[in-house]
Amino acid sequence: MKMTFRWFGTGFDSVTLEQIRQIPGVKGVITTVYDSKPGETWQAEKVRALKADAEKNGLEISGIESVNIHDDIKVGLPSRDKYIENYIKTLEILGKEGIDLVCYNFMPVFDWTRSDLAKRRPDGATVLSYNQEEIDKINPDTMFAEMDKKSNGFVLPGWEPERMARIKELFEMYKDVDEKKLFDNLAYFLKAIMPVCAKYDIKMAIHPDDPSWPVFGLPRIVRSKESILKMLSAVDDVHNGLTLCSGSLGSNPQNDIPDIIRSVKGRIHFAHVRNLKHHSPGKFEEAAHLSSDGSMDMYEIMKALYDTGFDGPIRPDHGRAIWGEVSMPGYGLYDRALGCAYLNGLWEALSKR
Ligand SMILES: [Mn+2]
């Protein structure tokens, strides 16, 4: 594995590359052209500028998270082909720059969802949390405004204001899209991009749905071992792979993550590893990465990755807000750096068994 750190780019992130390079073992950043809009072709100059920034600081770009998918592709509108063309052009630009990993998701309307972005824990740390009862009380039309209020002034990935302005239109667009349609549209998209992925050896790594069940009645298609295997076999090409996100899949305690890792050996191209504390079905909060702080066995997750020969980028995922740091919720420096140190320690111990 290669330890990496998510970074949103200068001007969008409270964490700097100078800080990231001082975290032991971090080789690269996972980044994006943060001000690009879904559906547009990225500008090669912006990708080169990101790369130059990273390299100046002794880091590489280990992957992109995310190149977002235009809603017309997810809904399956006739206009999707134009947006897929643009996506292919973006992949070509990335491929030419030697960037060979792209994380993306195929969630309708809402990206990841939480009911609270700063739930206070007994030790004073704050974390992102989810409570289905709270979510059920929220009018989806006002969900964007709720998230925006709690974002510490940062634009949250997947919760961009321009989407907020179109919320009613987005729900309308997806009203006839069920799981089958969404799945078929994903397969259509993947089949169309596989040739360019093969040409530049770009590994696509779909991010699982977060949380891993339908929210606001919207379909979810990457949320269990069964659905992941179905997605991988629909386009059975090594360039069609998975981002193993332990926190997203782990939101449903029925998901046996080490078993999922072993079942899809060779198709995990990227790993987000974090811990959660479960309270009751549909109610959880994020925890420190350490196993004993949450409900998940992080050693078993890392062991499954190690034993299956995982050699892609890995990153700590959302961190707690600690030591007075103010950042985009979940994306401060301190707790994610602790996460890197812990995951590196587990890996070293696994390698010396
Ligand atoms: Mn994740």
Per DSSP, which regions of the chain are E strands?
2-6, 28-31, 60-65, 101-104, 116-120, 126-131, 203-206, 240-245, 268-273, 276-280, 283-286, 313-316
Q: Is 272 annotated as catalytic?
A: yes
SS3 category, 114: coil
User: If you search the block for the tokens 């200068």, which residue do you land on?
Assistant: 10
**Amino acid occupying residue 241:** G
- What is residue 151's predicted lDDT score, i.e. its pLDDT? 83
CATH number of 2-351: 3.20.20.150
Which of 130, 174, 331, 334 is catalytic? The answer is 331
Span from the CA of 249 to the centroid of ligand 1 (angstroms): 9
**Whether the predicted pLDDT of 87 surpasses 80:** yes
- What is residue 109's predicted lDDT score, i.e. its pLDDT? 85
Span from the CA of 113 to the centroid of ligand 1 (angstroms): 12
User: If you search the block for the tokens 């809009």, which residue do you land on?
Assistant: 37
What whole-number percentage of the chain has pLDDT above 70? 100
- Asked if 232 and 264 count as a contact pair (C-beta separation under 8 A), the reply is yes
Which of 70, 207, 269, 289 is catalytic? The answer is 207
**Whether the predicted pLDDT of 140 surpasses 80:** no
Q: Is 317 annotated as catalytic?
A: yes
Beta bridge partners of 287: none
- What is residue 136's predicted lDDT score, i.e. its pLDDT? 87
Phi, psi of 304 (to 5 degrees): -65, -40
Model pLDDT for residues 304-319, shown as the tens digit of each residue:
999 999 999 999 999 9
**Whether the predicted pLDDT of 164 surpasses 90:** no
- Model pTM score: 0.95
| Residue 89: closest CA among 47, 148, 132, 130 | 47
Exposed (0-12), middle (13-18) or buried (19+): which is 300, by Cβ within 10 Å? middle
**Whether the predicted pLDDT of 199 surpasses 90:** yes
Q: Is 197 annotated as catalytic?
A: no
DSSP string, 183-229: HHHHHHHHHHHHHHHHHHTPEEEEPPPSSSS-BTTB---SSSHHHHH
- What is residue 215's predicted lDDT score, i.e. its pLDDT? 85
Span from the CA of 271 to the centroid of ligand 1 (angstroms): 8
Q: Is 278 annotated as catalytic?
A: no
Model pLDDT for residues 270-300, shown as the tens digit of each residue:
999 999 999 999 999 999 999 999 999 999 9
- What is residue 17's predicted lDDT score, i.e. its pLDDT? 98
Span from the CA of 270 to the centroid of ligand 1 (angstroms): 10
Which of 100, 104, 209, 245 is catalytic? The answer is 245
Domain boundaries, the chain: 2-351
